[in-house]
Amino acid sequence: MAEKDIKIKFPLWSFLNQPVFSSKTKLILNPREFAYLYRVQLLEACWAKECNSKGRPCN
């Protein structure tokens, strides 16, 4: 059987490296909720980066 490249879509390293005793961020123990919020933050960051690269103000 040929080995295939396996992509892990879950941000495991980010999930495991959450700050536990931080007052600035909330600890999320539910992996599905963490993955959802991670993807939303990533999309917002990419959107802001695209707007800034085109010279438009991002709102």
pLDDT for the residue 59? 58
Distances in whole angstroms, Cα of residue 52 to Cα of each of 38, 57, 58: 21, 7, 7
Read off the pTM.
0.67
> Token match 């959802």: residue?
36
**What mean pLDDT do residues 9-23 have?**
91
Q: 46 lies in a domain?
A: yes
- Residue 59 inside a domain? The answer is no
Question: Tokens for 12?
Answer: 């495991």
Please give the residue range of the domain that contains residue 46.
12-54
Specify if 29 maps to a domain.
yes
Q: Report residue 34 CA to chain centroid gap.
A: 8
pLDDT, residue 47, reads: 85
Asked whether residue 41 carries a pLDDT value surpassing 60, the answer given is: yes
